[in-house]
Each structure stands twice: as C-alpha cells, then as structure tokens.
Structure 1
Amino acid sequence: MEAAEKTSLVDKIYLQIKRAIVNREIPPGTKLSEEVLANILNVSRTPVRTALQKLSYEKLVDISPRKGASIANPTAKEVKEVFEMRILLEEYTVEMACRNFKQTDDTAARLKHVLAIEEKAYRDKDFSNVLQQVHNFHIEIAKLCNNGLIVRHLQELILLTNIYITFYSEMSIESPNSPGEHLKILHAIENNDVALAKYLMRRHIEDVSKRLNFNLIRNYNINLQDILLGQGLDVRE
C-alpha cells in the first residue's frame, strides 16, 4: 500500500510538471531544482527526483550530473536534423506500407480508429492526446514495414519532434491540418499509390516543421510556485 501511495505521489508531481510544460508555462531551458520543487509542492526530494527522471525519459527534461535538471532546450540545428531524418525514414515506411498493405487485414480500420481519436482530441482541445494519436498513426504505418528496428528508431524521432511541436509549433488546435493530411496519406496507402503516398508524407512532415517558431517561447521570468500550485492539485505526502 505504501509503495502504491508513493507511486501515486510521483505520478501527481510528474503530471503537474508535464502539464505546465505542455501548456508552455515553463520555457525551454528553465532550471528545475529538486529542492525548490520539493518546497513548492510540500513533498520530499525523492518523489520529485523520480518524477523528473520520468520526464527525462520523454525528453521533456534534461538531467545533467553537474547542472541538475532543466526543461529541454533543443537548438534549431538539432530540430532541423531530426525532421530531415523523419522525412528520409518515413518516405521509406510509407512506400513499404503501400507495398505490404492488404485490404483483407485490419490495418485500415486501426488507422481510421486512430484518426477518429485524433479528431476528438482536437475537439476536446487535448493537446497531449493529439500528439499521442499523431505518434500512433505514424507508427501504425511503420509497422507495415515488418521491421522492428525501423519502428523503434521512428518512435524515438517522433518523441523528439513532438517535443519540438510542444515548445514551438504555431499549429492551431481550433483549425488543425493534421487529420486531413493523415486521411490523404491513408487513402494513398489503400490505393497502393507509392508516389503519391511518399509525396504526401514528405509534404506533411515539412509543413509541420515550417510551423515551428523558435521565438514563440522566450526565457521570461516565471514563478514556478504560481504555475504549479495554480493548477489546483494536491500532491502533498
């Protein structure tokens, strides 16, 4: 019971910090002191440390042995390189998806189900779930390659690009482009149109990268206590 309570506390802290990051309330590069966070949340440093480690697995937080934890702060060069890698890899995955797609299996149904959840996430203005469904759509396509190594590499790349979108995208959750673009890609796969599918996938990823604005979040002065406690969650031990 005690272990379950500790896990629950870690999850509360993790979700509280993650929500502030995803909502762009804490700018990239912001230092996250274990001691400061523990004092703000009125908890010990141990669950804070574990929560920060969970965030680091998702690439939202960087942890350095000497500097401690801080919000990830990717450079424009890093972002450009990751998107270039995604284009190269996903042109291949969508080509193989066209070649391996069979009308008799349930791939189309799974992809359409993901798109339905994505559209609902947009309607609900659930940005975190939007990113999860974007990930799911691209990974379902990659699975048609029948190559686990490619799927794992793409998962890592999508995780990174989702971070960049979280920090810098000017995409509108009110009038999204993604569901319509995804549906066109799916139709190209269903029709085994390799050339069109590759073109649509490249354009889709390029358009996502073009909607990034590195001036969207500036390193302004923030009050972590107001941000974290303002969410109204009780994480006390």
Structure 2
Amino acid sequence: MPRSRANLKVIRPAPRATARAPAVDDDAPASSTTQRIVESITTAIVERRLMPGTKLAEQKIADIFEVSRTIVRQALNQLSRDHLVTLEPARGAFVATPSVDEARQVYEVRAMLEAALVRQLCARITDAQIAELRAHLRDEREAIGRTDVPGRTRLLADFHIVLARMLGNEVLARLLTDLLSRSSLISLMYQSSHSAEASQDEHVAIVDALQRRDARAAVRLMEQHLHSVERNLRLDPRAPDLEAVLRPSHE
C-alpha cells in the first residue's frame, strides 16, 4: 500500500488549537513534553484525523511543538512501543499500518478482556455509575446528532475506558486505551462500515443489561458488539477478477 503524505498539521491536539501548538515551557520536564506529543498523535489517531501510513517527519513535528528533535524522537519511540508508529531505517517514522492478523488478534484480546470486565462490573456497579454511563450515552447521541465526527469517535471509544475505570482497575483501563488506539488504526486501514449509530445503540443495550445487573446478557451484548465491529472490517478482501478489471469497456 502506498504511503500517505498527509500534512502533519492534523496532529494538533484539539480543534481550538491555533496554527502552531502552544510553545513548551522551557522549564517543563522533557518527559512531560514527550508525553504531550504522544498524547496529541494518539488523539489524532483515535479521532481518525491521522491516517495509517502518514509520514511523521521529526523536524516538522519539532517545529509544530517548538521542541528539539531529540524530544520528538523520544515520543516516536514510545509510540512505536505502543504499536501506533512504525520506525523504518533510513526512511523515518510512519503511522502504523496494522496487518490483518494483528487486527484479528486485537479484537480477540478485546473480546476476552471486555467480556470479563462487564461480568465483574455487573456484580458491583452502583446506581451513581449507571447515571454516569447514561450521561455518557447522551453525550454520544448529541455528538452523532450534530455530525461531530472526531467528538463522537472519541466518545464511542471512551465508553469502554469508562467501564474499566468503574471497575477501579487502572491497569486494565490503560491496556484498553492502548487497544482502542490500535482499533482506531485498524478501522481506518480496513474501512470499517460499522456506523456510529449502530455502536451507540449497542452501548445503550450494554448499559441496560448492567442496570439490570444481568451479567449473562451484558457479556453476550459486549461480545456481539465487538464481533459486529470486527465483522464490518474488510479483513478478507476478494482478489480482483483481472479480466473484469483490465478488459476494455465497450459502449
């Protein structure tokens, strides 16, 4: 697949950002500056503003964030460890292009983790947490209604992180955050046809089951939700019929 040469300005962390990212405080620790770049690129991936295969030029990113290339390199190395960026010798850094096998493995792991998550959550979820989930669902609906694509994409992903944090397991929440970032790349790479409306409806059904404290239904609905998302990815593209593709058309 040819590399995308999209302009790096898409990695700006928020819509309200100006043409240049805010200057970094000279006294800020290098680690926090590195993390800000990591979070900006990750957010752009999750919100589908940064496409697989996009070249991440060190100097360009350094200019955007007004930092040294050393700090940028640290951020890119971290993103590489998170499987969001691919570092290629003599070519540089690119947004990762997940393979079909990786896509399947990511959704397999998500299904195992999130089924166990909702099963445990059913046993301990509080009425206040149900109310919090209902508020999140309202935010999802509103973002979908106003066609806020980055906003709705972020909220639909965050739904799963909210569930993990309600369980009180920050390790699980962090792991799911990483998997959801990779899922965003997979959706872009394989042209997911799973609509935001369908995801939102499935989230509502999961919360309904949690409110009933129906662990069996919650697990089944979460598994169906993730299977539906994966099924709508083009992970099995058909080989083109060369005769149909290459034969000159006749009027």
Could you tell me the TM-score, scaled by structure 2's length? Answer: 0.65
RMSD: 3.7
- Cα distance in 2, alignment partners of residues 207 and 4 from structure 1: 40
CA distance in 2, matches of 1:116, 1:51: 39
Once residues 107 and 175 of structure 2 are traced to their aligned partners in structure 1, the CA distance between those partners, rounded to angstroms, is 13
Q: Secondary structure at the match of 2:98?
A: coil
The runs of 5 or more residues in structure 1 that have no matched partner are 217-237
**Alignment partner, residue 167 of structure 1:** 189
The equivalences for 1:200-211 within 5 A come to 200-211=221-232
In structure 2, the residue matched to 1:22 is: 48
Could you tell me how far 1:65 is from its partner in structure 2? 5.5
Cα distance, 1:95 vs structure 2: 0.4
User: Could you tell me which residue of structure 2 aligns to residue 196 of structure 1?
Assistant: 217
| Correspondence for 1:118 among 135, 140, 143 | 140
With structure 1 as the length reference, what TM-score do the two structures score? Answer: 0.68
Q: Report the alpha carbon displacement of residue 64 of structure 1 after superposing the two structures with TM.
A: 4.2
SS at the partner of 1:73?
coil
For the residue of structure 1 that corresponds to 2:94, the secondary structure is: strand
Secondary structure at the counterpart of residue 100 of structure 1: coil
Distance 2:49 2:65 in 1: 23
- Sequence identity (%): 26
Q: Does 1:71 align with 2:92?
A: no
Counterparts of 1:143-158 in structure 2, within 5 Å, are: 143-158=165-180
Q: Which residue does the alignment assign to 2:149?
A: 127
User: How far apart in 2 are the matches of 1:200 and 1:178?
Assistant: 11
Partner of 2:199: 178
Aligned-partner residue type, residue 171 of structure 1: H
- In structure 2, the gaps of 5 or more residues are 1-20, 26-35, 238-251
For 1:19-57, what per-residue CA distance to the aligned partner results, in whole angstroms no more than 9, with x for missing partners?
8x9257x5x33444446x58xx9999957x839947947
Highest RCO, 1 vs 2 (Cα 8 Å, sep ≥ 6) = 1
Does 131-140 or 201-210 show the bigger shift? 131-140
Tell me whether 1:80 sits opposite 2:101 in the alignment.
no
What are the Cα deviations for residues 124-179 of structure 1, in whole angstroms up to 9, with x where unaligned?
Answer: 32222222212321122223333332222222212211222233312345xx2011
Structure 2 counterpart of 1:151, one-letter code: A
